Structure 1
Amino acid sequence: METNKKTSRNKMIVSGIVPFIFIILMMAYIFGPGADLLDLGVPLPEITIEKVDFVKSEIHVTVRNTGPIPVQISMADVNDRIQPAAIEPDKFLERYETALVRIPFEWNEAEPYIIGLTTDDGVRFEKQINAAATALQPNIEFVAFFAIIGTYVGVIPVMIGLLWLPFIKKISKSKYHFFLALTTGLLLFLGIDSVKEAFDVSSENLSGSFNGELLIATTLVLSFLGLYYASEKLTGKADSLKISKPVAIGLMIAIGIGLHNFGEGLAIGAAIGLGSIAFSTFLIIGFALHNTTEGLAIAAPLSRGKLMVGKLIMLGMIAGVPAIFGGWVGGFAYSPFSAVIFLSIGAGAIFQVIVIILKWIREEGEKNLSSASVVSGFAIGMLIMYATSILI
């Protein structure tokens, strides 16, 4: 009997491995003896200029080979005039490999420039800079500056929003459902906004070889599933962990908002790093007003639990502080690829929080999610976020 079980188990393992063996053989043939089958047309080079930094008497260009074949960078130009350039580590780029092109050039603050790179087969790629600005260096002064901006944009507005908690605690059950639905509307708008920002960054800065749309969708879904699984475990074990279910829900909301605020910090840091002073000012003011409603999103589920000021402040910090870290990353080490990833993660986190809140509304006794209080709260939440987003 034991022998039969072992034999059956071995057969099962073999049956699971055999398809993988055939897949490997098929791919080995296509990229080996059968490579001629794919030798159709002429593969074209493609490079992406990911970042342009203006430093003292130099322009630094970060470039990535995003095409199907290796490329060689032969020359660089500024405003259509060929310039000498040093390429580190070298001018030969394999697929997805990056290089730093250093162009000696006496540039002027706030002037527009067009940076061009030409490959050895004569194909030219360019990136337009609307206004040159000195690249930020990670020193104490700028670290403190971004910390202050992140606090102003993320921490303080969320804390202000939490001040609605005493008011929400005293309202009736139907009005409480209204505010929970309002929270859901606020978060849905934030989630859609994160997806929109991710698509904008992808279309403007990433080559098609990265499949930006699919990258966003994949990251969003994985973020949603991972955080939803974590939230289910957390809320399911709330009693054993000695935390109330409202606090557990508030914690997941704070995490979702925090991931979103990291993306906002990225946007502000990148705008300041690129010298877009007017644009960055609008972002700071707009996000600051925008984010006061996020405190309300955290306060709504907590209003049905015992008021604990310490935990309330902790949740506010979890939601707001990531804006500081986002500012540091955006200002000192901005990357379009990482920006798309973080924005997508933030969107997935927010969408999973929406599912949690809707379940919480049902558990609170509102079996019909199409009731007047829920529908009106949802709609007003979206309208509030739209109204404040106009300022951004």
Structure 2
Amino acid sequence: MPFAAVAVVIAYLAGPGSGLAGLGTPLPEITIEQVDFVDGEIRATVRNTGPMPVDVVIADVNDRIQPAAIEPDKHLERFETAVVRIPFPWNEAEPYRIGLTIDDGTRFEREVEAAAPAPEAGLELLGSLALIGTYVGIVPVMLGLAWLPFIRRISGRHYAFFLSITVGLLLFLGIDAIEEAAEVADENLSESFNGLLLIATVTTLSFLALYYAGGRLAAAGKSGLQKPMAVGLMIAVGIGLHNLGEGLAIGAAIGLGQAALGAFLIVGFALHNTTEGMAIAAPASRAGATVPMLAALGLMAGAPAILGAWIGGFFYSPFSAVIFLSVGAGAILQVMVVVLRWIRGQDGVGLSGAPVAAGIATGMAVMYLTSIII
């Protein structure tokens, strides 16, 4: 019955009641998602983010109309994209305002603070981004795993303290991923995409999907896989998804010609990620993990930074960046819940105890201090 009623309402709005949808005056909107500077040419990637089809008819640079070619064509249906190619003798490091006017006379623009040549896709850039991803993701996580021998020798309340540090680290990473996603959505996504709602939806779906997968993994633990190792595996997956987002940010900065920002991100993330290995080492220390197992977990957590750098450098889009960062946030928050449940199950340890509170506070403080360089 409810489905039948909904079908009747939809049929009415599509037929006799179609005039109701026409109330008010819809406004066109286009979004200039990316601007690339190549030899003697400026290329602007534009998307129709308004409710109606539009035609791009005029391009200008610094308020001066310029000849332009639009590929594949000037007509854009809703959410369709095109590349506007503007022959222009631009100068490196100078600011530019790129404007596009549609058929009803409305003009939209995007400002570039300092022009920089877009890197050329090829094996050299592929190798450079892979090296950067290794430096930012794999190396710091492996260094953080060096905490393992120390954590293995402690017990009881001290171990609960280090597990709680892991919770603090993960909590900070989750908040950081959501903040980065919100920043990308605010600066680059049209309001028609509902950026904050997109972040909330993807984060929640990621959390639920991984919560289900974690339950299956825990069930597998009863048949041979040790629970501490299962938790370490989930932490590695969550951190790996977060590092995918970090690699995406670095690759995008380099791919968009923002060399200075890319350098800051590389140094900052490398320092920041040395603490992530500790988050894996804490549960793995109780699982009798071998060196190959630890290396596999470290690669699982760090290697996605390489993939993220490739995606950001060659195929960057604000929409995909928000999706990846939100998935990482959901994964990290799910792992944090799993670790808290595990701490509660430890003998003589409660979530309201001093070791837990001190550990979470320490983890948050360490992550904040290592993040201020970014």
Tell me the TM-score normalised to structure 1 length: 0.93
Q: Which amino acid aligns with 1:372?
A: A
Q: Please, which of 90, 93, 98 is the counterpart of residue 115 of structure 1? A: 98
CA distance in 1 between counterparts of 2:74 and 2:146 reads 57
**Residue in 2 that maps onto 1:288:** 270
Q: Which amino acid aligns with 1:112?
A: P
Q: Which amino acid aligns with 2:358?
A: S
How many matched pairs? 374
* 1:151-192 residue CA offsets vs partner (Å, 9 max, x unmatched): 000000000000000000001210000000000000100000
Q: Is the 8 A contact 2:30 2:48 kept in 1?
A: yes
Structure 1 segment 241-256 matched on structure 2, within 5 A:
242-256=224-238
Q: Is the 8 A contact 2:343 2:350 kept in 1?
A: no
CA distance in 1 between counterparts of 2:346 and 2:15 reads 62
- 2:329 aligned with 1:344: no
Q: Is the 8 A contact 2:170 2:333 kept in 1?
A: yes
CA distance in 2 between counterparts of 1:224 and 1:246 reads 20
Q: Which amino acid aligns with 1:176?
A: Y
Structure 1 residues 367 and 173: alpha-carbon distance in aligned structure 2, compared to 1, 3 A threshold: closer
* Secondary structure of the structure 1 residue equivalent to 2:266: helix
* 1:83-135 residue CA offsets vs partner (Å, 9 max, x unmatched): 11111121111111111111111212222111000011110000011111222
Q: Is the 8 A contact 2:160 2:349 kept in 1?
A: no
Q: Please, which of 184, 188, 212 is the counterpart of residue 167 of structure 2? A: 184
Q: Please, which of 240, 259, 267 is the counterpart of residue 241 of structure 2? A: 259
Could you tell me how far 1:42 is from its partner in structure 2?
A: 1.5
Q: Which runs of 5+ in 1 are unaligned?
A: 1-17
CA distance in 2 between counterparts of 1:227 and 1:368 reads 25
Structure 1 segment 72-87 matched on structure 2, within 5 A:
72-87=55-70
Q: Please, which of 285, 293, 317 is the counterpart of residue 335 of structure 1? A: 317
Could you tell me how far 1:284 is from its partner in structure 2?
A: 0.8
Q: Is the 8 A contact 1:186 1:385 kept in 2?
A: yes
Q: Is the 8 A contact 1:84 1:103 kept in 2?
A: yes
* Secondary structure of the structure 1 residue equivalent to 2:83: strand
CA distance in 2 between counterparts of 1:31 and 1:63 reads 30
Q: Is the 8 A contact 1:259 1:345 kept in 2?
A: yes
**Residue in 1 that maps onto 2:43:** 60
Q: Which amino acid aligns with 1:251?
A: L
Could you tell me how far 1:140 is from its partner in structure 2?
A: 0.8
Q: Which amino acid aligns with 1:205?
A: N
Structure 1 segment 151-162 matched on structure 2, within 5 A:
151-162=134-145
Q: Is the 8 A contact 1:45 1:67 kept in 2?
A: yes
Q: Which amino acid aligns with 1:257?
A: I
- 2:115 aligned with 1:132: yes
Q: Percent identity?
A: 64
Q: Is the 8 A contact 1:71 1:119 kept in 2?
A: yes
Could you tell me how far 1:366 is from its partner in structure 2?
A: 4.7
CA distance in 2 between counterparts of 1:123 and 1:175 reads 64
Structure 1 segment 185-204 matched on structure 2, within 5 A:
185-204=168-187
Q: Which amino acid aligns with 1:342?
A: F
CA distance in 2 between counterparts of 1:38 and 1:321 reads 49
CA distance in 1 between counterparts of 2:16 and 2:148 reads 69
Could you tell me how far 1:367 is from its partner in structure 2?
A: 4.9
Q: Please, which of 24, 38, 62 is the counterpart of residue 21 of structure 2? A: 38
Structure 1 segment 218-257 matched on structure 2, within 5 A:
218-240=201-223, 242-257=224-239
* Secondary structure of the structure 1 residue equivalent to 2:100: strand
Q: Please, which of 232, 256, 259 is the counterpart of residue 277 of structure 1? A: 259
CA distance in 2 between counterparts of 1:25 and 1:88 reads 41
Q: Which amino acid aligns with 1:292?
A: T
Q: Is the 8 A contact 2:229 2:289 kept in 1?
A: no
CA distance in 2 between counterparts of 1:338 and 1:31 reads 33
Task: Name the Cα RMSD after superposition.
Answer: 1.1
Q: Is the 8 A contact 1:86 1:102 kept in 2?
A: yes
* 1:54-91 residue CA offsets vs partner (Å, 9 max, x unmatched): 12221111111111111111111111111111111211
* Secondary structure of the structure 2 residue equivalent to 1:387: helix
Could you tell me how far 1:19 is from its partner in structure 2?
A: 2.0
**Residue in 2 that maps onto 1:310:** 292
CA distance in 1 between counterparts of 2:118 and 2:256 reads 7
* Secondary structure of the structure 1 residue equivalent to 2:27: coil
Hey, which bits of structure 1, 4+ residues long, moved more than 4 A? none
CA distance in 2 between counterparts of 1:109 and 1:314 reads 43
* 1:229-252 residue CA offsets vs partner (Å, 9 max, x unmatched): 101110111243x32111111111
Could you tell me how far 1:306 is from its partner in structure 2?
A: 0.9
* Secondary structure of the structure 1 residue equivalent to 2:85: strand
CA distance in 2 between counterparts of 1:26 and 1:300 reads 56
CA distance in 2 between counterparts of 1:55 and 1:143 reads 19
Q: Is the 8 A contact 1:262 1:324 kept in 2?
A: yes
CA distance in 1 between counterparts of 2:167 and 2:152 reads 18
Q: Whose radius of gyration is greater, 1 or 2?
A: 1
Q: Is the 8 A contact 2:268 2:370 kept in 1?
A: yes
Tell me the TM-score normalised to structure 2 length: 0.98
Could you tell me how far 1:30 is from its partner in structure 2?
A: 1.1
Q: Which runs of 5+ in 2 are unaligned?
A: none
Could you tell me how far 1:253 is from its partner in structure 2?
A: 0.3
* 1:270-305 residue CA offsets vs partner (Å, 9 max, x unmatched): 111222222211111111110010000000001111
* Secondary structure of the structure 2 residue equivalent to 1:34: helix
Q: Is the 8 A contact 1:186 1:381 kept in 2?
A: yes
